[in-house]
Amino acid sequence: DTEVTQTPKHLVMGMTNKKSLKCEQHMGHRAMYWYKQKAKKPPELMFVYSYEKLSINESVPSRFSPECPNSSLLNLHLHALQPEDSALYLCASSQDHRKETQYFGPGTRLLVL
């Protein structure tokens, strides 16, 4: 099973709201990733967690706050977002950060009004 699940599928939020995106995998993977994808563009890496510790932050604004409560779960907390943050947010996982094959979830389509 190479399934990564993400909830919710769609999210609409105002600029003053606080919301969270959730990602889950049960493949025993120890690396998890958040990507942001704008329309007609490739995904852009935001964060990497390795063994539940943040290992890479690609200079992402602090209004995005990742959290890895355990090895199966990855959250992305959103606060005071801007309309330009509207995008598809993809989660991925890999066996560990040095094992290169990443498996992607279906994404959360976020609209910030």
The residues of the shown chain that bind another protein, judged by CB under 8 A, are 2, 4, 6, 40-43, 45, 48, 56, 88, 90, 92, 97-98, 100-107, 109
CB of 96 to another protein, least distance (A): 9
Of 15 and 111, nearer to another protein (C-beta) is 111
- Determine the distance from the C-alpha atom of residue 30 to the mean position of all C-alpha atoms in its chain, rounded to a whole number: 15
Question: Does a cis peptide bond (omega within 30 degrees of 0) precede residue 69?
Answer: no
CB 97 within 8 A of CB 103: no
Kindly give the pairing relationship between strand 10-13 and strand 108-112.
Answer: parallel
CB of 107 to another protein, least distance (A): 5
Of 15 and 54, nearer to another protein (C-beta) is 54
